[in-house]
Amino acid sequence: MKTKSPNQIGPLLAIAYYGLRAQLRNRATLFFGFVFPLMFIFAFGFFGSNGQKITIGIAQNEKTEAIYQDISKIENINIQKGNLADLKKELASGKLSAVLANGDDQGEVKLLVSQASENQSQVVQSIVSGAIAQQNLALSGLKDLPINLEVEKVAGRAFRFIDFFLPGMIGFAILATAVNNTAFGLIFLKKTLVLKRIFATPTKALTILLGQGLARVIVALAQTLVIVAAGVLVFDFTLIHGLLTLLSIILLSLIGLLAFMGFGLFIAGVATDENSVVPLTNIIVFPQFLMAGTFFPIESLPEVLRPFVNILPLAFFNAAIRKITTEGVSLDQVFPQLLGIMLWSIIAYIAASRTFKWE
């Protein structure tokens, strides 16, 4: 008769606790887990919050003065006055979006734009031509215009880059931690024979893996909280329903983590040492990091790619977390995405169970 395996709760907690302690003493964990995502958020958060600044250089004279009066009232447009030669230089070097100067003929103003920035040129052109049209109208003395444009502002939440970027950053951090940390961590513990030594004690193999997993889940959840906190405190990131939204984020992160850890486990099984881990984690993490909606929406990818990118595990996760953070929905309303994540995790864990070895 087989003897019953002893109660595994104590050993599980011991493995998780001491695994966590060892991880927190590891500088690489701290850097890649916390500093790295924060660096990204700060870099892109500040970049994104300003949007694209448009600066128009104006060479001063009577003709441009009237237009200057008009466009200087427009928000988000900077004006830089100066002489034409200097302004031209700045335009060429990309510091100015356009330069407004005297035309060659009477009654002509000239707008110099840079070939290098197509988008900005068009924005400036429409702003300036609008201003000129107004001037022309005023000069012609026409009253009771046939068509009038009235702009009405509808109340709404300002959607800023951070609102798009921060959830994507959580997705990336979860994926990277789950895959890299699990794969590198387990290979390291295999190589240093820590796993084997623990396996020599009356501890189940599954307990060892779960304990290690639990330690990593705690690190990754702390990571999510740090990212959200940085967003809320520094960039005024809004949690639509406050704590409820935060709770949804944490629960979703937990689901994502457990799913993505399957890939880490799979790599730890396939790889023989740390060197062979690197290309494998890169194959799984980087394409998703670049394409699956971390930095820009998947809709901006070429149409042929979209169907493939949309079914990547991180794409499901990012779609779900954005619905939660920007639309304020609860977890049950992102069921299709959760299903997608679950299918991937089943694939990953089946693959992992076939490859994982203790020796």
Query: At closest approach, how far in Å is the CB of 285 from another protein?
Result: 25
Which residue's CB is nearer to another protein, number 151 or number 200?
Answer: 200
Q: Give the chain's radius of gyration (CA, Å).
A: 28
The site map against another protein for 1-30 (x = CB under 8 A) is: xxxxxx---xx-xxx--xx-xx--xx----
Q: What is the DSSP letter of 181?
A: I
Query: At closest approach, how far in Å is the CB of 8 from another protein?
Result: 10
Nearest to 178 by CA among 215, 205, 217: 217
Query: At closest approach, how far in Å is the CB of 211 from another protein?
Result: 10
User: Is 272 among the residues that bind another protein (CB under 8 A)?
Assistant: no
Only one of the segments 47-55, 70-78, 120-128, 186-194 lies at the binding site for another protein (rule: CB under 8 A); that segment is 186-194
Nearest to 330 by CA among 259, 245, 258: 245
Query: At closest approach, how far in Å is the CB of 193 from another protein?
Result: 4
Using a 10 angstrom Cβ sphere, with 0-12 exposed, 13-18 middle and 19 or more buried, the burial of residue 186 is buried
Nearest to 98 by CA among 74, 126, 70: 126
The token pair at 139 is: 């000069």
Which residue's CB is nearer to another protein, number 210 or number 240?
Answer: 210
Q: What is the DSSP letter of 331?
A: G
Options 42, 196, 236, 279; binder of another protein; rule CB under 8 A = 196
Cα angle at 126 between 122 and 132, to 5 degrees? Answer: 140
Options 58, 194, 280, 315; binder of another protein; rule CB under 8 A = 194
E-only strand ranges, the chain: 54-59, 77-82, 98-102, 109-113
What gap in Å lies between CA 185 and CA 256, rounded to an integer? Answer: 19
User: Is 206 among the residues that bind another protein (CB under 8 A)?
Assistant: no
Which residue's CB is nearer to another protein, number 24 or number 278?
Answer: 24
Query: At closest approach, how far in Å is the CB of 359 from another protein?
Result: 7
User: Is 193 among the residues that bind another protein (CB under 8 A)?
Assistant: yes
Binding residues for another protein, rule: CB under 8 A, are 1-6, 10-11, 13-15, 18-19, 21-22, 25-26, 192-194, 196-203, 358-359
